[in-house]
């Protein structure tokens, strides 16, 4: 008997220790089982307590009255399935007539408390069916990306979502994006993560970095780099020349296929035959304010830059040219054309901000809740951000802490994948140290 007590004490003790020190391990060893059991046995009671049941049908009530039986119980929404995941449990629930998905989102906090989990989110999976994600522990505390992800060409895993799923940057779904955040909020680490993930892909990387220190370590994997506003203006115009060249190829292909019955008519580079398909180009711009702010009222160089960015954002997708723009703010104080440019950047990521107006710039047209969530990111959670989608949905994410060394290693390893872009040849980074610097070193 005493041995049994000791064994139980050891198991309980190690479970508590794991829960405190290694919540992810605790979840995989004990938490998942306890949570699944709790849901199985307490599902109906919890739904009732959270006001997620509906009264019995009129017919059943009338029958009960007529037969003088007790009134039938509230009807519980049907649990279709329960699926444990690496970080939580997913439930599919068939709603009862008269219920809507909003009731389940509104009850998220009550469900979290009743099921004893860290967090609950819900979404309508299809009409009449709601999917609830229970997260067992705070997955954003120490971000651990799963080994297996659903990556593909131009679809890269860049962060973990608060419900434990993976957040992807999918350039074909969301061609252009803007990432804002106060200083030290985690923008550069986010950018590094994107570059590290893109490095093994058959794509060209192009960068503009007027701070000069953010992108130069990745030079081996970059087809073109500009580190001052003059070069940036020329580089963006060279990209436009390339884009127009690609449009000429698509147009020619369209004319050929128009004369061929049943042939697909190309509308973008993905419809072109593989031999003709140009390599996609990811343009990453660090600190947009360095390019957009000018002391002059009419600065021709700034106008060239903003015009080129707007044109690339409007027309680049079909030519396989994608923009990722980073900055501390991205509002009209950066001058003419910025609001127009922002409208084209449908991917919005906001790290910690110092004022509500910065969050509003990104999410004002998406959701007031997303604005509020962005202003609530604590200083201690660097790399945490809110991502908004044009559908009005939003979610909290956090990037893994990709070090400069890890990103540089990926860029060096895949340096041989760096394509030569003839139109941008002038901006190909010079590798190695300049003779004078090498001598000094």
Ligand X SMILES: Nc1ncnc2c1ncn2[C@@H]1O[C@H](COP(=O)(O)OP(=O)(O)OP(=O)(O)O)[C@@H](O)[C@H]1O
Location of structure tokens 């980073």: 326
10 Å Cβ neighbour count for 389? Answer: 16
Please tell me the total number of residues recorded for the chain in this structure. Answer: 441
- Whichever of 181 and 320 has its CB closer to ligand X, that residue is 181
- Whichever of 172 and 382 has its CB closer to ligand X, that residue is 382
In angstroms, give the least distance from the CB of 385 to ligand X. Answer: 9
* DSSP-assigned letter for residue 81: E
HSE (side-chain half, CA atoms, 13 Å) at 53: 16
Residues contacting ligand X: total by CB under 6 A:
13
* CA–CA distance, 272 with 267 (Å, rounded to integer): 8
* CA–CA distance, 433 with 441 (Å, rounded to integer): 9
In angstroms, give the least distance from the CB of 182 to ligand X. Answer: 7
Known binding residues for ATP are 181-188
* CA–CA distance, 432 with 295 (Å, rounded to integer): 35
- Whichever of 92 and 382 has its CB closer to ligand X, that residue is 382
3-state SS assignment for residue 417: helix
Query: What residues numbered 383-422 form the site for ligand X, per CB under 6 A?
Result: 383, 398-399, 401
Geometric angle at alpha carbon 234, from 231 and 238, rounded to 5°: 135
In angstroms, give the least distance from the CB of 407 to ligand X. Answer: 11
- Whichever of 358 and 399 has its CB closer to ligand X, that residue is 399
In angstroms, give the least distance from the CB of 287 to ligand X. Answer: 7
In angstroms, give the least distance from the CB of 219 to ligand X. Answer: 19
* CA–CA distance, 145 with 399 (Å, rounded to integer): 9
Query: What residues numbered 156-195 form the site for ligand X, per CB under 6 A?
Result: 181, 183-189
- Whichever of 115 and 218 has its CB closer to ligand X, that residue is 218
- Whichever of 160 and 250 has its CB closer to ligand X, that residue is 160
- Whichever of 96 and 398 has its CB closer to ligand X, that residue is 398
For 92-129, letters b (16+ CB in 10 Å) and e give: bbebbeebebebbbebbeebbebbebbbbbbeeeeeee
In angstroms, give the least distance from the CB of 7 to ligand X. Answer: 39
In angstroms, give the least distance from the CB of 399 to ligand X. Answer: 4
In angstroms, give the least distance from the CB of 209 to ligand X. Answer: 11
CB-based contacts of 181, cutoff 8 Å, min separation 6: 187, 328, 350, 351, 352, 353, 385
User: DSSP states of 113-177 as a string?
Assistant: HHHT-SEEEEEEEETTEEEEEEESS-TTTS----SS---BTTEEEEEEETTSPEEEEETTTS--E
Residue 166 β-bridge partners: 160
- Whichever of 119 and 349 has its CB closer to ligand X, that residue is 349
* CA–CA distance, 415 with 113 (Å, rounded to integer): 50
Instruction: Kindly write out the interface string for residues 123-162 of this chain, putting x where it contacts ligand X by CB under 6 A and - elsewhere.
Output: ----------------------------------------
Share in percent of the chain as helix, strand, coil (round to 5): 45, 20, 35
In angstroms, give the least distance from the CB of 382 to ligand X. Answer: 3
Known binding residues are 181-188
Query: What residues numbered 332-391 form the site for ligand X, per CB under 6 A?
Result: 382-383
- Whichever of 114 and 402 has its CB closer to ligand X, that residue is 402
Conformation bin of residue 84: beta by default, left when phi > 0, alpha when psi is -120 to 50: beta
Backbone φ, ψ for residue 292 (5° rounding): -95, -25
Residue closest to ligand X (Cβ): 383
- Whichever of 181 and 280 has its CB closer to ligand X, that residue is 181
In angstroms, give the least distance from the CB of 348 to ligand X. Answer: 16
Binding site for ligand X (CB under 6 A): 181, 183-189, 382-383, 398-399, 401
């Amino acid at each position: 008997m005493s041995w049994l007590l000791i064994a139980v004490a050891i198991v309980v003790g190690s479970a508590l220790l794991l829960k405190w020190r290694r919540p992810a391990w605790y979840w995989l060893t004990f938490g998942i089982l306890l949570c699944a059991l709790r849901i199985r046995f307490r599902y109906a009671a919890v739904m009732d307590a959270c006001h997620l049941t509906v009264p019995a049908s009129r017919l059943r009530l009338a029958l009960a009255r007529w037969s003088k039986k007790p009134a039938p119980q509230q009807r519980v929404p049907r649990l279709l399935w329960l699926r444990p995941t690496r970080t939580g449990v997913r439930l599919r629930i068939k709603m009862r007539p008269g219920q809507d998905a909003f009731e389940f989102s509104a009850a998220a906090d009550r469900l979290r408390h009743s099921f004893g989990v860290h967090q609950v989110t819900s979404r309508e999976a299809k009409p009449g069916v709601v999917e609830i994600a229970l997260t067992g522990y705070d997955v954003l505390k120490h971000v651990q990306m799963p080994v297996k992800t659903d990556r593909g060409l131009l679809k890269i895993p860049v962060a973990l979502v608060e419900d434990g799923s993976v957040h992807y940057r999918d350039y074909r779904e969301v061609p252009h994006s803007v990432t804002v955040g106060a200083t030290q909020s985690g923008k550069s680490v986010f950018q590094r993560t994107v570059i590290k993930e893109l490095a093994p892909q058959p794509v060209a990387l192009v960068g503009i970095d007027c701070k000069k220190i953010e992108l130069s370590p990745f030079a081996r994997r970059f087809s073109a780099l500009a580190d001052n506003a003059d070069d940036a203006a020329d580089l963006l115009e060279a990209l436009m020349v390339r884009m127009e060249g690609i449009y000429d190829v698509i147009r020619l292909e369209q004319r050929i296929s128009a004369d061929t019955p049943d042939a697909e008519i190309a509308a973008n580079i993905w419809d072109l035959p593989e031999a003709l398909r140009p390599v996609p180009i990811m343009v990453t711009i660090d600190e947009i304010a360095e390019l957009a702010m000018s002391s002059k009222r009419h600065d021709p160089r700034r106008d060239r830059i903003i015009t080129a960015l707007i044109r690339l954002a409007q027309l680049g997708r079909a030519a396989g040219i994608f923009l990722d723009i980073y900055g501390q703010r991205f509002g009209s104080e950066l001058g003419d054309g910025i609001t127009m440019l922002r409208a084209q950047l449908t991917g919005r990521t906001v790290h910690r901000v110092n004022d509500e107006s910065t969050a509003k710039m990104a999410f004002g047209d998406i959701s007031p809740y997303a604005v509020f969530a962005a202003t609530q990111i604590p200083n201690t959670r660097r790399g945490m951000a809110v991502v908004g989608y044009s559908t009005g949905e939003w979610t909290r994410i956090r990037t893994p802490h990709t070090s400069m060394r890890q990103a540089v290693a990926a860029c060096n390893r895949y340096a041989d994948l760096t394509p030569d872009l003839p139109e941008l040849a002038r901006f190909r980074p010079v590798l190695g140290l300049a003779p004078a610097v090498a001598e000094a070193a």
